[in-house]
Structures are given as C-alpha cells and as structure tokens.
Amino acid sequence: MGRRATDQRRAERSAELARRGTELADATLRGDRRALARLLTAVEDRSPVAESAMRRLYRKAGRAQLVGITGPPGSGKSTLVSALIGQLRGAGRSVAVVAVDPSSPITGGALLGDRVRMQSYAGDRDVFIRSMAARGHAGGLASTTGAAVAVLDAAGFDHVFIETVGTGQSEVEVAAAADTTVVLEAPEMGDEVQAIKAGLLEVADIVVVNKGDRPGALRTASQLRAMLSAAAPAAIDDRPRPKRPEVLVTTATTGEGVPELVAALERRRDAGAAGSAGPARLARAEAQVWAIATERLRARLHDRDHRDATEATLRQVADHEIDPYAGADRLLGEATET
Amino acid sequence: MGRRATDQRRAERSAELARRGTELADATLRGDRRALARLLTAVEDRSPVAESAMRRLYRKAGRAQLVGITGPPGSGKSTLVSALIGQLRGAGRSVAVVAVDPSSPITGGALLGDRVRMQSYAGDRDVFIRSMAARGHAGGLASTTGAAVAVLDAAGFDHVFIETVGTGQSEVEVAAAADTTVVLEAPEMGDEVQAIKAGLLEVADIVVVNKGDRPGALRTASQLRAMLSAAAPAAIDDRPRPKRPEVLVTTATTGEGVPELVAALERRRDAGAAGSAGPARLARAEAQVWAIATERLRARLHDRDHRDATEATLRQVADHEIDPYAGADRLLGEATET
C-alpha cells in the first residue's frame, strides 16, 4: 500500500517534470531567451526536464554551424570569440557560445571574463553566451555539451561556438561536438608546449596563431605549417579530414585576420552543407545515443529493485572475490531482466 | 552451412585465445616477466587474451600499494619515480611502474626517458617499468590502466606506481586507479598555472614540490599549504579524504626529501590496510566493472546480428529524424533481446 502510494507520487512527479520540459522546449522554439537559459540549466543538471525538452526540440536542430574553439590558456580564445561574434553580427548572423571549462572537473565553475562578455552583448537577442561547468567525467561533459549545442541549434542560432579552455583529452572529446574545430596557438611558446599541442593539432580543421602582433607570430605560423605538412595525417579517427588544416594568423584585440577566419568558416560551412549527415555528425550522434543508453543502464542498476544486488556485486569485485568480468556479466544479466 | 562453419571457426579461435590468456596468467603468477610483458600488451590491445587472463589473475590481486603520481610536464615525475624506486629497493621492496601519457590520445606513444630508466634497472627482476599508450577515450584509458595495475598487483609487486603526464581530466581519471595520489608541482610557476593545478590538487593525497633546490621551492610549498588549508575540501567525491593533503619538498635529482616521501606513503599504506575495501577501491571496482559492461553492450550492438539496425538508428539520429533518447531506447531494446 505504502509502496503503491509512493509509486503513484513518483509517476505524478515525473509527468510534471516531463510537462515542464515540453513547455520550456516550446517557449525556446518561440524565441523565449529566458526559457532557453532555464532549459540549458536543466541540461547541465541532467534533469528529467531536459529529456522531455530534448525529445521535443531535437528534430528541429541540425541547421546551425557548430564550431569548436580550443587552445592552451592564454592563447586568447575568449577575445577571439568576441571578435568573431562582432564580425558575424555585422553580417546579420545570430551566434550562441557555450564556454566549457574541463580543467577543474570537481568544482567546475564559470569562466573568467564571461560576465564581461555577456554584458557587452546584453541588448542583443541574437547573441547568447553560456558558461558550462564540467561536472562528472569527461564523457559526461561531452554528452552534456552535445545536448546544450542541440538546444541552441534548435533555438535557431546560425552559429554555435563551443569554447573550451585547457589542453588535452577533454578538448578532444568536446571538439567531437563540433563540425569544425579551430585550435588556437599563441606565438613563441617553448618546446615542451609544442609537444603537448601535437595532440590538439590532430583534431584541428583550422589552426589560428592569435596575438599576431607579437614578435614570432609569423614564425610560429610557418613552423606550424611545416609541422602539419610533415605530419600530413591520414584519417585516424572517423572525422572527415579532406585536406590538412589551414593555418591563419589573427590579432583578436584589433580584429586583424578575423574576416579571413570567418571566410574560412564559411567555406567549411558550404562544404559540409550538402546531403545526409557526414561522419562527424554520425560520430556525434553515436556519442550522444551511447551516453544516454549507458546512463539508463546505470540508473536501472541503481534503482530500488537492483541497488542492493549491484552494491553486493561491486563489493565482491573490490574485495577481489570475483573478477570484474564476472561482475559485469552479473550486472548486465540483472539490468536486462524484465 | 557456410555460416555454421564460420561460427565453429570463430568458437575455436575464441577458445584458443582464452587458453593463451590462461597460460600467460599462470606464467605471470609463477614470476615469468616475459609472460607479464606479453600479458600487459594484451591488456593494452584489449585483446580477448586479456579477459581470460584477468579472470584467472584478478582474485590474486589486492595486496600491492597503488600510488598515482601526476603533475604538469617539467615537474620531474620520472626522476622522482626513479628516486622512489631506489629508496624502496633499498628496503627490499619490489616496484612496478605504469607510465601513461594521456596528452596525445590519437597517436599515443611511449614516454620519453623510459628506455633509459628501464636500462638502469635491467638486471633487477623486482623492478618492472612499462609505458602505456593512451588509445581511445579517457574512460578507456582509465579501464586499461586499472586492468594493467591489477595484473602487476597479482604478479606480486609490493608497490605499483601509476605515472601520468599532462594536466587535467585524464589525470583525475587515472588517479582513480590508485589508493594514494601524489601530485607534483615545480617551484615558481605563474598565476595561470596555479589556476590549472587547482583541479589536480583536489585529487591529491600528498603534494610534492619537487626541484626543492631551486629558489622559490619553500615559498611554493608554504603557498600550497595555505591554499590547501583555505580550501579544506569536504569529501566531494567518494574518495576517502581523512585530512587535508600533506605538502612535502623533494629534490629528486639528489634524493633529498625522498625518504620522507616514502615514509608518508608507508603511513598511508598502513592506514589503508585494515578490513574490507574502502571507498576508493569500491569506486575503482565500479569503474572497471562498468567499463567492461558497456564494452560488452557496445560489442553486442555492433555484432553481426545487430550491426545494420544499430547503424540505421544512429543515422536517423544524426539526420535529426529521431531524437537521441528514442535512439538509445531502441538500441537498448535490441541489445537486450535474446
């Protein structure tokens, strides 16, 4: 009896959350920016509200150009993104920015300078800037980012920038949420940093040497061109790599080189526009679907009916009483029983 | 008929791989270091050989102290690990090192300087050093590292060091494979680097300022102590955090401070030895079991019976014809049908 009452309350609660998600989605599609902001919070919180909203919104997405912007700290990503916004707004385009900081996975937190940027476009409803904290593991971040990007795409923005700070694996996973990845470099970096950025260059479609007014910028650009032509990477992953990345030089603070970068983005947009989803979009769909599928499986293993058995199995593995393969088989068996 | 013959060949092949894994495991348990090396290659390749070996070995593991060593490039990790090996060998302990480089996820590759280190202990069968390339995504790296560590643990090493290079998310995931995490810092770093390392400090059990003979080392150590006592983090994740991390100063090149670091590790070893698996080992077991479970599910979705349906579903999501939640439900439904 008590359990049935609890079940009913839970079902009511869940219907209420689904209704709220649908409402937020409809309001977002009508252009309501406050609803959009609230929906992104739900996505970030992985709330059930986000699921029903995504179910409503997702099929409207697929029109925006998704551009990842990444590079080491101090390379001027935020300034360059601001310059790109200015240029694109001048051409009548709408722009959304998702700024992700994966470097501090536990505390997360908004990016420095975002408040400033948001204020400078405060009156313009065709610019939308949002910081996302990196909660949970890298895979989770990639899937949350993917969902946020789909929401902004469905909301009708022409360009969605995904800006990440830091260096390494996380950027690569976040880059997977974009059609086109721009990697920034600052001029005159030491040898060690060169070694680190090899990993980043591998995901680059366009490499930008920013702070182009500094001595060494042109030399860095020609070094990068030499590196990239020596490496001439084959398609190691599933992302399309029709030719080696372009190397451009910008000075984001003055705007120099920014029109050329916008032109390069436009060329890639045109190239990617034809026909059915290419390998990058297919890989992204797979990542999103997979994240949801594993999340459901995990939720099932920790629900009221399975929790005790799951915990007992994990404890046996931790105590080295059974091996992890036997543990996995047992959990999968339990989760797929009906 | 053709299909039945194929199925039989596949079953024979799979029995052969399982037999080879069991043999490698038994040889490893007998102390055969060549078998150990070959088994670790199988783990790294995610070969079916590794699965049968792990099934045989895993229950013998659980006795080694697992220590993660991480920190930014240039902080002297490899030199410090070498100094720790020297100190522990002097006390009659056996030591294995897994050196992981997550910074270049696509090409991977062995760490610089490992050949040199391996040569200097070439005659000593109680020292085993192994580089692991970071293939696939960060989660995959963590699970491969976890399996490699379990193999070395079962092989009877008293201490297993997990050394990672780079900064960020990947280290945090790799750190999860250790009982104790040591984070290195170099003296005199700029403000920006300080911000990055906040994420690393959150996973630290012991913070080591290496290159202690440089000016600024003691100042860096006291700054870190002040930071850590100001932050005084609560247990945000499931890892045990009985007190705030110790801050030690070492000069790995001369060995100064290394005995104190070994003593700190011993204290943690004693503290963690009693009773059933603590939260860190439980979290690690969960990560390993989960990685295996999702890998099995994924393999099932891409096997001969499910591949076409899986690809069709993913394409519909990529083309925004169905939403990713509907796609996930469809895939889970297919994978769990019997």
Q: Determine the pLDDT at residue B64.
A: 94
Band (A284; pLDDT cuts 50, 70, 90): confident
Q: What percent of chain A has pLDDT over 70?
A: 77
Closest CA to A121 of A145, A97, A146, A99: A97
- C-alpha to C-alpha distance for A281 and B73, rounded to whole angstroms: 34
- Residue A166 CB partners (closer than 8 Å, separation 6+): A72, A73, A101, A102, A103, B167, B168, B196
B17-74 confidence digits (pLDDT tens): 999 999 999 999 999 999 999 999 999 888 889 999 999 999 999 999 999 998 877 7
Q: Determine the pLDDT at residue B109.
A: 38
Contact A169 B322 (CB under 8 A): no
- For the ranges A18-27, A196-205, B131-140, the one whose mean pLDDT is highest: A18-27
Which is more confidently placed, A200 or B294?
Answer: B294
Which is more confidently placed, B77 or A120?
Answer: B77
CA distance B55 to chain A (A): 6
DSSP string, B142-205: HHHHHHHHHHHHHTT-SEEEEEE-S-SHHHHHHHTT-SEEEEEE-SS--HHHHHHHHHHHTT-S
Q: Which of A172, A277, A324 sits opposite B288 (nearest CB)?
A: A324
Q: Which of A106, A134, A198 sits opposite B236 (nearest CB)?
A: A106
Q: Which of A105, A236, A319 sits opposite B277 (nearest CB)?
A: A319
Q: What is the CA radius of gyration of chain B?
A: 22
Contact A294 B289 (CB under 8 A): no
Candidates B181, B317, B336, partner chain A, best to mutate (most A CBs within 10 A): B317
Query: Is there a contact between B126 and B31 (Cβ–Cβ < 8 Å)?
Result: no
CA distance B127 to chain A (A): 24
Q: Determine the pLDDT at residue A145.
A: 85
User: What burial class does residue A90 get, using C-beta atoms within 10 Å of its C-beta: 0-12 exposed, 13-18 middle, 19+ buried?
Assistant: exposed
Does residue B177 carry a pLDDT above 90? Answer: no
Closest CA to A75 of A162, A163, A191: A163
Q: Which of B168, B296, B313 sits opposite A332 (nearest CB)?
A: B296
Contact A167 B103 (CB under 8 A): yes
Q: Which of B106, B134, B324 sits opposite A285 (nearest CB)?
A: B324
Q: Determine the pLDDT at residue A51.
A: 93
Average pLDDT score over residue span A203-227: 87
Band (A49; pLDDT cuts 50, 70, 90): very high
Q: Determine the pLDDT at residue A115.
A: 52
Residues of chain A neighbouring B74 (CB-CB closer than 8 A): 192
CA distance A143 to chain B (A): 11
Residues of chain A neighbouring B322 (CB-CB closer than 8 A): 59
Q: Determine the pLDDT at residue B337.
A: 62
Averaged pLDDT score across all residues of chain A: 82
- Give the residue from chain B lying closest to A201, CA to CA: B104
Q: Determine the pLDDT at residue A102.
A: 55
Q: Determine the pLDDT at residue B105.
A: 41
Does residue B126 carry a pLDDT above 60? Answer: yes
Average pLDDT score over residue span A178-203: 69
- Give the residue from chain B lying closest to A281, CA to CA: B318
| Sign of the CA dihedral running A28, A33, A34, A39 | positive
Q: What percent of chain B has pLDDT over 70?
A: 77
Band (B149; pLDDT cuts 50, 70, 90): very high
Does residue A312 carry a pLDDT above 70? Answer: yes
Cβ neighbours, 10 Å, residue A144: 25
Contact A317 B169 (CB under 8 A): no
Does residue B242 carry a pLDDT above 70? Answer: no
Q: Which of B285, B297, B324 sits opposite A314 (nearest CB)?
A: B285
Q: Determine the pLDDT at residue A82.
A: 92
- C-alpha to C-alpha distance for B210 and A78, rounded to whole angstroms: 33
Q: Determine the pLDDT at residue A231.
A: 61
- Give the residue from chain A lying closest to B297, CA to CA: A332
Does residue B115 carry a pLDDT above 70? Answer: no
Measured in whole angstroms, the distance separating CA B139 from the mean position of its chain's CA atoms is 10
Q: Determine the pLDDT at residue A59.
A: 93
Average pLDDT score over residue span A110-118: 53
Q: What percent of chain A has pLDDT over 90?
A: 43
Does residue A190 carry a pLDDT above 80? Answer: no
Band (B133; pLDDT cuts 50, 70, 90): low
- For the ranges A218-227, B142-151, B204-213, the one whose mean pLDDT is highest: B204-213
- Give the residue from chain B lying closest to A231, CA to CA: B107
- Residue A1 CB partners (closer than 8 Å, separation 6+): none
Q: Determine the pLDDT at residue A110.
A: 43
Average pLDDT score over residue span A166-182: 71
Q: pTM value? A: 0.69
- C-alpha to C-alpha distance for B204 and B248, rounded to whole angstroms: 12
Q: Determine the pLDDT at residue B279.
A: 76
Does residue B235 carry a pLDDT above 60? Answer: no
Does residue B138 carry a pLDDT above 80? Answer: no
Query: Is there a contact between A221 and A247 (Cβ–Cβ < 8 Å)?
Result: yes
Does residue A138 carry a pLDDT above 70? Answer: no
DSSP string, B266-285: HHHHHHHHSSS--HHHHHHH
Does residue A168 carry a pLDDT above 80? Answer: no
Contact A298 B320 (CB under 8 A): no
Q: Determine the pLDDT at residue B326.
A: 94
Averaged pLDDT score across all residues of chain B: 82
E-strand stretches of chain B: 65-70, 95-101, 127-133, 159-164, 180-185, 206-209, 246-249
User: Which H/E stretch holds residue B119?
Assistant: helix B114-120
Cβ density class A183-222: b for 16+ within 10 Å, e for less: bbbbbebeeeeeebbebbbbbbbbbbbbbbeeeebeebbe
Which is more confidently placed, A284 or B335?
Answer: A284
CA distance A194 to chain B (A): 12
Which is more confidently placed, A123 or A9?
Answer: A9
Q: Determine the pLDDT at residue A143.
A: 74
- C-alpha to C-alpha distance for B208 and B288, rounded to whole angstroms: 29
Band (B123; pLDDT cuts 50, 70, 90): confident
Measured in whole angstroms, the distance separating CA A188 from the mean position of its chain's CA atoms is 29
Band (B197; pLDDT cuts 50, 70, 90): low
Phi, psi of B65 (to 5 degrees): -85, 125
Q: Which residues, listed in sequence order, are joined to residue A97 by a DSSP beta bridge?
A: A129, A161
Phi, psi of B77 (to 5 degrees): -60, -50
- C-alpha to C-alpha distance for A290 and A284, rounded to whole angstroms: 10
* Chain position carrying tokens 């280190």: B117
User: What burial class does residue A168 get, using C-beta atoms within 10 Å of its C-beta: 0-12 exposed, 13-18 middle, 19+ buried?
Assistant: buried
Contact A55 B326 (CB under 8 A): yes
